[in-house]
Amino acid sequence: MLLSTILLAAEDMGPNPIAPEGKELFWGAGTFLVFLFVMRVFLVPKVRKGMEARYGMIRDGHESAQATRSAAQSDVAAYEAAIAEVRAEAAGRVEKARQTLDSERQAKVAEANARIAAKRADADKSLETARTAARGEVAAAVGNVTSRAAQLVLGKSPDAAVVKRAVDATMSGGHS
């Protein structure tokens, strides 16, 4: 009784909605297999090939850009090396010129110093000569005055040699 009721109810509900339907399974399978065949054999390889070609082109472009960049970088390095060489050469020349100027300056300074020293020596010599002459004259004058004073005091002329020695000793002592 119960079983027949359930069966009747199931019959009323119609076919099982979960069970696959033959025509849908068949057409679904056929459609997908045709789709898979067309995609696998024709379409995907063609699109993929196009993608690969474009990626290759982009890769080549990158490589070319990289090569250009490397070439530019080596050009810049060569330019910088040339600049450094020129700068070093210029610095060398400047240093050489500076050394030349310095040696010339030192030579001229030495020459001037020598001239000054010679003039100074000449001046010193003249001065010494004049001083000696003046000293002789002063000593002679002092000797005369001393002799005259001694003559006036003692009434006789003192020995000229003694007076000279005494004047010299006095002047030397006074000088020193």
Partner 1 sequence: MNQLSLLAFEFPPINMLLRWQDVLPTVNKVVLIGFASALIGMGIFLAAARKDPKKAPKGARNLAEVIIDFIEKQIIMQTMGPSGLAWTPFLLSIFIFIYLSNVPGVIPIIQMPATARMGIPAFMALMVWVVYNATGIKHQGPLGYFKSVLFPPGVPKALYILVTPIELISTFIVRPFSLAVRLFANMLAGHLLLVIFALLSEALFQARDRILIPVGVLPFAVLLFLTGFEVLVAFLQAYIFTTLTAVYINMASHAEH
Name the DSSP class of 19: S
Number of residues that bind partner 1 (CB under 8 A): 38
Rounded Cα–Cα distance for residues 54 and 46 (Å): 12
Q: How far is the CB of 5 from partner 1 (least distance, A)?
A: 14
Site for partner 1 in 126-165 (CB under 8 A): none
Residues near 100 by Cβ (< 8 Å), separated by ≥ 6? none
Applying CB under 8 A, does 62 fall inside the site for partner 1?
A: no
Q: What share of the chain is helix, strand, coil (3-state, %, to 5)?
A: 90, 0, 10
Applying CB under 8 A, does 10 fall inside the site for partner 1?
A: no
Give the three-state DSSP class for 59: helix
Neighbours of 167 (CB within 10 A): 20
Identify which of residues 17 and 173 has a Cβ nearer to partner 1 in the complex: 17
Among 6, 8, 48, 111, binds partner 1 (CB under 8 A): 48
Residues 165 and 172 sit within 8 Å (Cβ to Cβ):
no
Q: How far is the CB of 31 from partner 1 (least distance, A)?
A: 5
Among 10, 49, 98, 103, binds partner 1 (CB under 8 A): 49
Q: How far is the CB of 18 from partner 1 (least distance, A)?
A: 6
CA angle 41, 44, 45 (to 5 degrees): 70
Residue span binding partner 1 (CB under 8 A) among the ranges 7-15, 65-73, 144-152, 161-169:
7-15
Residues 153 and 136 sit within 8 Å (Cβ to Cβ):
no
Among 6, 7, 47, 121, binds partner 1 (CB under 8 A): 47
Applying CB under 8 A, does 63 fall inside the site for partner 1?
A: no
Residues 150 and 158 sit within 8 Å (Cβ to Cβ):
yes
Site for partner 1 in 18-37 (CB under 8 A): 18-29, 31-32, 34-36
- Binding residues for partner 1 (CB under 8 A): 12-15, 17-29, 31-32, 34-36, 38-40, 42-51, 53-54, 57
